[in-house]
Structure 1
Amino acid sequence: MDRLNTFDAGFLDAEDADPHVSLAVGAVSILDGPLPDRDALATLIGDRIAAVPRLRQVVRRQPFDLSAPEWVEDPALDMAHHIRRAALPHPGDDAALFRFTAEAMESRLDRERPLWQCWIIEGLAADRWALLMKVHHCIADGIAAMHLLAGLGDGGEGQTYVGAIRAAHAPPHRPRTLPTLTADPRTLVRGVVNSVSALTYSTAVTVGGTVQILDSLLRPGPKSAFNGPVSTMRRYSAAQVPLADVASVCQAFDVTLNDVALSAITDSFRAALQRRGEVPRRTSLRTLVPVSVRPGAAMGELDNRISVMLPHLPVDESDPLEQLRTVHRRMARVKSGGQRQAGGMAVAALKLVPFALTSRVVRLLTSLPQRGVVTLATNVPGPRHHLQVMGREVVRMLPIPPVALRMRAAVAILSYGDDLVFGVTADFDAFPDVDDLADGIAGAITRLATVARHPEPRKEHHDPSPGAQENSCRSG
């Protein structure tokens, strides 16, 4: 039997715990026109999707959830249930596309059918059209979903930015072995000491990370409009910036792409807090940052292989450069503090517990009113080169994250071609300013890129306070 693992099934349980959420991930691909023949396009998409076994299967839960759900072939697969058509009202601008995207992602996927939908969207401005692909999170995490979407193009998956993530090129884990008893006594003692030291250090780091994660989840943060029950309605917006701008910031300030993206999110959320009359505090924006633990050999497999980090983004800091530096320091601290290892260990441990128990625990935990984590920011590496479908170029690709667990807004970050794209999904009532949130992220990166390319002269300080030199802004 082909069964869901405990982690994948957990997304179904989390969805069941809140009737207002849909745990599907997706992406909108915008293509140059003209639109191909509709029937031929639907047939092509159907054939390419049918070539993926998981997209021909349905989930079958077991009586009383005594064992994990099973993937079974849908005996009556009908592509007409999954491939749908829509037309945007005139003028077919981004606002109309974003409204349709939000509405398409609101509804849950039918559990009686394979858990995906594809929308062919006509009527975009400039003679363009779009494809919206929606897949349940129990099938794939962001990286696996992007490989799936890229595989629907004319040339297959092609080259992606996935090689930039650490897990993709990490060497396979090999358990540490002790020297044999026939070894030289000094070698034996030295080997035992090294093995015990490594094990002790690894255990200490993992335990420390576990404590940090539990503290983040159990300790409530400041009361905020960004955290609370969600409705069934969504808003969506997106913005993109040139990857060259991000690269210039990375080079000038010795930070990572993820640091730059998170600092831009910080700046925009700070402005959103201020628009609501809230004072941005150090603990105002605890953020769920998924981390891929997917090895390079498993990039094409459809499942979830992620751990988590839970940093506070520095919305209390007003200076963009200091936001960037603080994000860099905090992310480095979180990475070395064991949260990634602890999350991976928790996922592995779930596999050892009977499914009947883990299923109930997941539903209980995801139904609790957590107030510690405010938003989600997930970074997904996409194709390095523009895709094509029936010879039409995919000129833009917009990621769509889900909203759940009382986090009323989520941001997905996608590298596609020469651009970095931010897709923002938000609760309809909590974020009427979702466009401002997306535009604020892009604006923050533009400002950082301007500073990186035209640094201001360093100003002389005479600050006697401890750490003053460490906290001063570098000019690049």
Structure 2
Amino acid sequence: MHQLSSLDAQFLDAETSTTSTHVGVLSVLGPTAPGGGLTVQDLRTLAEGRLHLVGPLRWRLQEVPLGLDRPYWVDSEFLDLGYHIREVALTGPGTDEQLAEQISVLSARPLNRNRPLWECYLVNGLTGGRQAIYTKVHPAVIDGLTAAQALAVLMDTTPRPRTVPHRLSDEQYQAAGALGMLGNSAWHLALLPARLMWSSLRLAPHLPELARTLTVPGADLLGTLARRLTPRAWRWSADEPTAEALTPPGTPFTGPATAHRRFAFTSLPLGEVEAVRTAMGFTVDDVVTALCTTVLRRWLIDHDALPDTAMAAAMPIAGRTDAQFAAAGHRLSLLPIALPINESDPARRLQKVHTSLTAAPQRFRAAPATLVRDFGAALPRALRGLLSRTPLRTLTMPTPPVNLIISHAAGPARPLYAAGIEVTGNFPVSAVSDVAGGITIAAMSYGRHLDIGIIACRNLVPDVWDVTGQLHQALSELTACTRNVRYLRPRRPPESR
């Protein structure tokens, strides 16, 4: 038997009637000859011969009696591909907007916890004879950054599907006995006081910063009391990181999210993104984050809601290695970054984004939200589940209180094929929550383009296609800045030339 990690359990506990934490990928397939498209049975046959390469997709949850401890993963004796792989069809004309609306509906549905936590949908009826495959999976199984790797396992790099030897994974988890689970729970409960003491000591110096991030009534008073009651002697030594925690300002998409979603997607030429990176001496992460900052700035200006301070965002990073890919759990972390939406000059905005991303690791180590997650992990699972349904759910959420999440991952550089049909686009479909903001922007490189998916709470950001459309204009703006790049870079002293 194998028990879920604390972070995986927190992803489960974070789900509510309005928040699902699963992530996914929308793969658009190129046009085929009439009658030559992919059928749902083709997709099931393909998956049946390859799912053994991705062991976590066979696992299901086994709860501990009375919810005393974290659940366990066990292998499913029978995997019902008729349930996990289904098909839907768009009504005419089958535009990208209709496809996005269908993905919005499918994404809003929670995964069934009595089955392995993933689903796959074949979408028919797109314009030009195209099809699409939407795959969603819970981050407790596979995090968003390695979901693309799992997708690549199920696809091919040539039009001819490869033959995969059928061999079961060495890691198979049998159902756990009730006595064994209760014995482990008793041991964990015995260690609980020590874990809570250690987490509390680490968290105490950051109580003033934490209070400022709460949106419940009386948060300001709580912050004032925390500053007065927290002894300076509790501060760590001078070699501890001193980066200030980010406080998310109020925005129209920072509010209670509903269960309804709105999704939009687009592609940018990766060559143009890399040209900006090369000309201005930054990274692709810098450029992508600056593009997101620009479109958010314009959206906030259009809605007369531009804050006076930088927005707080979080960027996922994963520490899983290839050897760890098939193992349970993941090492997902979220770097807190500042988005300079109040900077009007695009070149300076990019420079400030670079500075923020450079300082992100230090800010991550100093962020109180990171320690809050550690504190939440030390709590008994039953108590975490109770807190997750209260205004203090930030104590158990796996993400810090931010305005939104922005992610960028490197995807396959070569074209992929599904049963011989080329994949023309791979668009990430992320998650939305109350704590992590009502909008999430995810980008993934594929071939020679950058595929971007934006998902939002339908009530908070109903015009998500406007945000997507402005990405192209934002890239053109940065491209224009490269013409004056010699004036943007700091000049070297004469003696150093």
Give the TM bin, normalised by the shorter chain. Answer: 0.7 to 0.9
The share of aligned pairs that are identical, in percent, is 29
- Bigger drift between 321-330 and 288-297 goes to 288-297
Partner of 1:269: 296
Q: Is the 8 A contact 1:88 1:96 kept in 2?
A: yes
Q: Is the 8 A contact 2:86 2:121 kept in 1?
A: yes
**Secondary structure of 2:267's aligned partner:** strand
- Aligned Cα RMSD in Å? 3.2
Q: Is the 8 A contact 1:403 1:410 kept in 2?
A: yes
Partner of 1:222: 249
Q: Over residues 214-273 of structure 1, what are the superposed CA-to-partner deviations in whole Å (9 max), with x where a residue is unaligned?
A: 477448643321111111111001121111111111111111111111111111011111
Long gaps (5+) in structure 1: 157-205, 460-468, 471-476
| Shift of residue 94, structure 1, vs aligned partner | 0.8
**Secondary structure of 2:60's aligned partner:** strand
Q: 2:130 aligns with which of 125, 128, 134?
A: 128
Change over 3 Å in CA distance of 1:94–1:367 after alignment to 2: same
The answer to whether structure 1 residue 396 and structure 2 residue 425 are counterparts is yes
**Secondary structure of 2:24's aligned partner:** strand
Change over 3 Å in CA distance of 1:55–1:371 after alignment to 2: closer
Change over 3 Å in CA distance of 1:110–1:455 after alignment to 2: same
| Shift of residue 318, structure 1, vs aligned partner | 1.2
Partner of 1:383: 412
**Secondary structure of 2:136's aligned partner:** strand
Q: 1:427 aligns with which of 430, 453, 457?
A: 457
1:271, 1:293 → 2: CA distance?
Answer: 34
Matching residue's letter, 1:53: G
2:212, 2:447 → 1: CA distance?
Answer: 36
**Secondary structure of 1:259's aligned partner:** helix
Q: Over residues 311-344 of structure 1, what are the superposed CA-to-partner deviations in whole Å (9 max), with x where a residue is unaligned?
A: 2201101111111011111221223445389888
Q: Over residues 43-95 of structure 1, what are the superposed CA-to-partner deviations in whole Å (9 max), with x where a residue is unaligned?
A: 22233235533222211211222121011233443211111111112221110
Q: Is the 8 A contact 1:291 1:340 kept in 2?
A: no
**Secondary structure of 2:304's aligned partner:** coil
Matching residue's letter, 1:240: S
**Secondary structure of 1:262's aligned partner:** helix
Partner of 1:115: 117
Q: 1:307 aligns with which of 333, 342, 354?
A: 333
Q: Normalising to structure 2: TM-score of the pair?
A: 0.74
Partner of 1:318: 344
Partner of 1:81: 83
1:50, 1:429 → 2: CA distance?
Answer: 40
2:363, 2:400 → 1: CA distance?
Answer: 22
Q: Over residues 417-440 of structure 1, what are the superposed CA-to-partner deviations in whole Å (9 max), with x where a residue is unaligned?
A: 111121100011111210111122
Partner of 1:14: 14
Q: 2:143 aligns with which of 138, 141, 144?
A: 141
Q: 1:332 aligns with which of 336, 354, 358?
A: 358
2:420, 2:70 → 1: CA distance?
Answer: 42
2:2, 2:401 → 1: CA distance?
Answer: 36
**Secondary structure of 1:310's aligned partner:** strand
1:431, 1:358 → 2: CA distance?
Answer: 30
Q: 1:258 aligns with which of 285, 290, 293?
A: 285
Q: Is the 8 A contact 2:394 2:400 kept in 1?
A: no
Q: Is the 8 A contact 2:93 2:127 kept in 1?
A: yes
Change over 3 Å in CA distance of 1:245–1:359 after alignment to 2: same
**Map of 1:238-253 to 2, 5 A cutoff?**
238-253=265-280
Q: Is the 8 A contact 2:319 2:330 kept in 1?
A: no
| Shift of residue 298, structure 1, vs aligned partner | 2.6
1:273, 1:371 → 2: CA distance?
Answer: 22
Q: Is the 8 A contact 1:210 1:343 kept in 2?
A: no
1:311, 1:82 → 2: CA distance?
Answer: 37
Change over 3 Å in CA distance of 1:268–1:287 after alignment to 2: same
The answer to whether structure 1 residue 449 and structure 2 residue 479 are counterparts is yes
2:366, 2:406 → 1: CA distance?
Answer: 15
Matching residue's letter, 1:385: R
Q: Is the 8 A contact 2:105 2:261 kept in 1?
A: yes
**Secondary structure of 1:232's aligned partner:** coil
Q: Is the 8 A contact 2:249 2:403 kept in 1?
A: no
**Secondary structure of 2:111's aligned partner:** coil
2:298, 2:343 → 1: CA distance?
Answer: 11
The answer to whether structure 1 residue 55 and structure 2 residue 57 are counterparts is yes
Change over 3 Å in CA distance of 1:208–1:287 after alignment to 2: farther
| Shift of residue 350, structure 1, vs aligned partner | 7.0
| Shift of residue 447, structure 1, vs aligned partner | 2.0
Matching residue's letter, 1:6: S
**Secondary structure of 2:49's aligned partner:** helix
Q: Is the 8 A contact 1:288 1:310 kept in 2?
A: yes
Change over 3 Å in CA distance of 1:327–1:102 after alignment to 2: same
Q: Is the 8 A contact 1:46 1:83 kept in 2?
A: no
Partner of 1:462: none
Long gaps (5+) in structure 2: 159-201, 216-246, 492-497
Partner of 2:224: none
Q: Over residues 127-155 of structure 1, what are the superposed CA-to-partner deviations in whole Å (9 max), with x where a residue is unaligned?
A: 11111101112111122211111111035
1:431, 1:345 → 2: CA distance?
Answer: 31
Partner of 1:98: 100
| Shift of residue 361, structure 1, vs aligned partner | 5.6
2:209, 2:24 → 1: CA distance?
Answer: 27
Q: 1:438 aligns with which of 448, 464, 468?
A: 468
| Shift of residue 395, structure 1, vs aligned partner | 1.0
2:209, 2:142 → 1: CA distance?
Answer: 23
1:55, 1:340 → 2: CA distance?
Answer: 35
**Secondary structure of 2:426's aligned partner:** strand
2:213, 2:368 → 1: CA distance?
Answer: 14
| Shift of residue 295, structure 1, vs aligned partner | 3.6
Matching residue's letter, 1:321: A
- Bigger drift between 435-444 and 328-337 goes to 328-337
Change over 3 Å in CA distance of 1:297–1:211 after alignment to 2: farther
